[in-house]
Chain A
Amino acid sequence: MLKILIRKQMMEIFRAYFYNAKKNTGRTKVSTVLMFLGYGAVMLFLAAGLFGVMSVNLVAMARAGYAWFYFALIGLVAVLLGCFGAVFTTYSGLYLAKDNDLLLSMPISVHAIMASRLVSVYLMGLLYSAVGSLPAVVVYFIYMPFSVLALLCAILWAILISLIVLFLSCLLGYGVARLSLKLKRKSLATTVLALVGIGLYYFVYFKAIDLVQDIVENVVLYGEKIKGSAYGVYLFGQAAVEWKALAIVYAVVLALCAATWFLVQRSFLKVATSTGATVRTKYTERTARVRSASAALLRRELGRFTSSSNYMLNCGLGILLMVLAGVMLLLKGQALAAVLTAVFAEQPGVVAVLACAVACMAVASNDMAAPSVALEGKNLWIAKSLPVSGWQVLRAKLTMQLVLTVVPTLFLCVCLAVTLPLTAPELALLFLLPLIFMVFSACLGSVLGLQNPNLHWTNEVYPIKQGLAVTVSLLGGWAYSAALAGIYLWIGRKLGSVIYLGIFSAATLIAAALLYLWLRKRGPAVFEAL
Chain B
Amino acid sequence: MLYIEHLTKKFGDKVAVDDLSLHIAAGEVYGFIGHNGAGKTTTLRSVVGIQQFDAGSVRIDGIPLAENPIECKRRIAYIPDNPDLYEFMTGIKYLNFVADVFGVGADARQERIRRYAALFELTDDLGQPISTYSHGMKQKLAVISAWLHQPRLILMDEPFVGLDPKASHILKEMMREFCDGGGAIFFSTHVLEVAEKLCDKVAIIRRGRLIRSGTMEEVKGDDSLEEVFLELEDED
Q: CB within 8 Å of B: which residues of A? A: 24, 275, 278, 280-285, 287-293, 295-297, 299-300, 303-304, 307-308, 377-379, 381-382, 384-389, 528-529
Min Cβ gap B44→A in Å is 10
In the complex, the answer to whether A285 meets B125 with C-beta atoms within 8 Å is: no
Besides the contacts A296-B97, A385-B73, what 6 more A-B pairs have beta carbons closer than 8 Å?
A278-B129, A281-B127, A287-B107, A296-B100, A304-B88, A381-B45
In the complex, the answer to whether A293 meets B101 with C-beta atoms within 8 Å is: yes
- Contact-residue size bin, chain B (C-beta under 8 Å from the other chain): 35 or more
With the chains together, A292 CA to B104 CA distance in Å?
10
In the complex, the answer to whether B84 meets A379 with C-beta atoms within 8 Å is: yes
* A-B CB pair tally, cutoff 8 Å: 98
Which of A280, A287, A299, A381 is B97 in contact with, Cβ under 8 Å?
A: A299
- Is B78 part of the contact surface with A, judged by Cβ < 8 Å? yes
Q: What chain B residues lie within 8 Å of A386 (beta carbons)?
A: 73, 98, 101-102
In the complex, the answer to whether B123 meets A381 with C-beta atoms within 8 Å is: no
With the chains together, A115 CA to B90 CA distance in Å?
35
- Is B214 part of the contact surface with A, judged by Cβ < 8 Å? no
Known: A283-B123, A386-B73. A300 touches B86 (CB 8 A): yes
Q: Which of B46-54, B169-177, B181-189 contacts A (4 or more CB under 8 A)?
A: B46-54
With the chains together, A284 CA to B71 CA distance in Å?
34
Min Cβ gap B113→A in Å is 8
Which of A290, A292, A296, A529 is B106 in contact with, Cβ under 8 Å?
A: A290
Q: What chain A residues lie within 8 Å of B98 (beta carbons)?
A: 386
A291: nearest residue on chain B (CB-CB)? B100
With the chains together, A382 CA to B78 CA distance in Å?
9
Which of B45, B80, B126 is A283 in contact with, Cβ under 8 Å?
A: B126
With the chains together, A379 CA to B105 CA distance in Å?
25
With the chains together, A379 CA to B125 CA distance in Å?
21
Which of A280, A304, A382 is B85 in contact with, Cβ under 8 Å?
A: A382
Q: What chain A residues lie within 8 Å of B102 (beta carbons)?
A: 386-387
With the chains together, A288 CA to B82 CA distance in Å?
28
In the complex, the answer to whether B110 meets A303 with C-beta atoms within 8 Å is: no
With the chains together, A290 CA to B101 CA distance in Å?
10
Q: What chain B residues lie within 8 Å of A291 (beta carbons)?
A: 100
In the complex, the answer to whether B125 meets A388 with C-beta atoms within 8 Å is: no
In the complex, the answer to whether A303 meets B93 with C-beta atoms within 8 Å is: yes
In the complex, the answer to whether A295 meets B110 with C-beta atoms within 8 Å is: no
- Is B99 part of the contact surface with A, judged by Cβ < 8 Å? yes
Q: What chain B residues lie within 8 Å of A292 (beta carbons)?
A: 100
Min Cβ gap A288→B in Å is 5
With the chains together, A384 CA to B71 CA distance in Å?
13
- Is B35 part of the contact surface with A, judged by Cβ < 8 Å? no
- Is B207 part of the contact surface with A, judged by Cβ < 8 Å? no
B71: nearest residue on chain A (CB-CB)? A387
List 23 interface pairs A-B (beta carbons < 8 Å), by A numbering: A24-B12, A283-B125, A283-B128, A285-B110, A285-B114, A287-B110, A288-B92, A288-B99, A290-B105, A291-B100, A293-B101, A303-B86, A303-B88, A303-B89, A378-B84, A379-B84, A381-B80, A384-B48, A385-B73, A386-B73, A387-B73, A387-B102, A389-B70
Q: What chain A residues lie within 8 Å of B76 (beta carbons)?
A: 385
Which of B12, B101, B114 is A387 in contact with, Cβ under 8 Å?
A: B101
A305: nearest residue on chain B (CB-CB)? B88
With the chains together, A300 CA to B100 CA distance in Å?
11
- Is B74 part of the contact surface with A, judged by Cβ < 8 Å? yes
Min Cβ gap A87→B in Å is 22
Q: What chain A residues lie within 8 Å of B37 (beta carbons)?
A: none
- Is B96 part of the contact surface with A, judged by Cβ < 8 Å? yes
Q: What chain A residues lie within 8 Å of B92 (beta carbons)?
A: 283, 288
Min Cβ gap A189→B in Å is 15
With the chains together, A287 CA to B88 CA distance in Å?
21
With the chains together, A79 CA to B71 CA distance in Å?
56
With the chains together, A461 CA to B132 CA distance in Å?
20
In the complex, the answer to whether B100 meets A382 with C-beta atoms within 8 Å is: no
- Is B235 part of the contact surface with A, judged by Cβ < 8 Å? no
A307: nearest residue on chain B (CB-CB)? B88
With the chains together, A303 CA to B106 CA distance in Å?
21
With the chains together, A303 CA to B130 CA distance in Å?
13
